[in-house]
A and B are shown apart, each in its own frame.
Chain A
Amino acid sequence: MSRHLPFEDWIFADEALPENDLRELQRHLRDCAECRSIDQRWQAARQSLREAGMQTPAPGFTTRWKAMATRRLKTPGPAQAWIFLAATGLGSLVMAALLAVQTSAEGFSLTGVFSRSSTAVAGTLRDWANASNALGMVFRIVSRSIPPAWYLIAVFFLSVLGILGLLWFVRKTREGKK
């Protein structure tokens, strides 16, 4: 065991040492130049920390904080970006579902689509009570009347829109933080 133990520990002890330990340490410090040097350096370092005082921010810190907080509160947060992304993603899924309905349907023709559309419109005008049925019909008709390529284009467009929107929100959020 080192002959400097437990004195090294006592030198760096933060709490006041018991009287006996303190006396023993003082005796050791008189005899041991190495520990004495450590003790001197630590006492000096501790004193410089204690005397360093508090640093203060430049005047107007609170005003600057309020301005920053107001700016950030106006900036859309990440949650809003995720909502936007989810909405466009959902839109893409709906388009994909419509595409699936159309591709699985049989006997597709433009005349039939026109006829069904006219019936649907007339039905809606005649009887508002059937509005929900008519809407369902319109949904089916629309799904069959648009060429499949358009769905792909719409899905692609919505995806790009979603990504661009997300990038915009991220940029805005970063601007707000500055």
Chain B
Amino acid sequence: MVEIQKEWLLSARKGDPDAFGRIVEAFQKPVYNLCFRMLGNSEDAEDAAQETFWRAFQGLSRYDPKRSFGTWLLSIAAHYCIDRLRKKRLNLLSLESLLPEDDAPDPAPGPENQTDQKQGQAAVQELLANLGKEERAMIVMRYWYDMSYEEIGRALSCSISAVKSRLHRARQTLAQRWTTVHGPAPAWAGERHE
């Protein structure tokens, strides 16, 4: 996770949006990615990421410096996305809406690679869309940010045992849905590698 300088935080706490802008710059990618994985399209992800940073800016006085700032931000983002999904009752994400827009900022791969990437991203999103809101957040935190069970529990306000059991259930769902989304899994070579 990205680290921030204490001076940025001190200036931002005084209410300076420019100072907080540096924090936004540093954390835009992880926050946006979480929002995208949760909400499934770039427009909603942009709105949610912007709102996350605004809420963090407004609630900076509540941030405990002993904790990781990134985890705190992701916690705000996850809660916001869960609320948003609850309100919109978005259970399934349409494949069409997942196609990235023309101004995708990543280094440009070739057209074939781009198509592969789009399909891959859409398939991942379709897979994630089979999960419940909280389970989706847990999977994203675990597999994109390598967060520990404890960190996930703290971020989503639930116990470690709840995180473990829900992640287990989420993995089962992902395995069940894999064939539907991707077709048959690759042939098993006979040895399970960890």
Contact = CB atoms under 8 A, between A and B. Distances in A.
Interface of A: 9, 12, 14, 16-17, 22, 25-26, 29-30, 36-46, 48-52, 54-59, 61-62, 64-66, 68-70, 72-73
Contacts, number: 131
Q: Do most interface residues of chain A lie in helix, strand or loop, or is the interface mixed?
A: helix
Contacts of B142: 14
A50 B192 CA distance: 17
B24 interface: yes
A44 B185 contact: yes
B18 to A, nearest CB: 7
B120 A52 contact: yes
B186 A40 contact: yes
Contact of B46 (A12, A49, A57): A57
Given A40-B186, A56-B105, 17 more contacts: A12-B175, A22-B194, A26-B191, A29-B192, A42-B174, A44-B182, A45-B178, A46-B143, A49-B127, A49-B174, A50-B143, A52-B120, A52-B144, A56-B32, A57-B29, A57-B49, A66-B17
A25 B18 contact: no
Contacts of B36: 55
Contact of A64 (B50, B121, B190): B50
A116 to B, nearest CB: 53
Nearest to B191: A26
Contact of A16 (B46, B103, B194): B194
A50 B101 CA distance: 23
23 contacts: A14-B142, A39-B188, A41-B178, A41-B179, A42-B175, A43-B185, A45-B174, A45-B175, A48-B182, A49-B139, A54-B33, A57-B29, A58-B46, A58-B101, A58-B104, A61-B24, A61-B50, A62-B21, A66-B18, A68-B50, A69-B17, A69-B54, A70-B17
A26 to B, nearest CB: 6
B24 A58 contact: no
Contacts of A54: 29-30, 33, 144
A41 B130 CA distance: 15
Contacts of B14: none
A109 B6 CA distance: 72
Interface in B4-41: 15, 17-18, 20-21, 24-25, 28-30, 32-33, 36-37
A17 B185 CA distance: 23
A17 B193 CA distance: 11
Given A22-B194, A36-B188, A61 B182 contact: no
Contacts of B53: 65
A131 B124 CA distance: 78
Given A26-B192, A64-B50, A69-B17, A56 B29 contact: yes
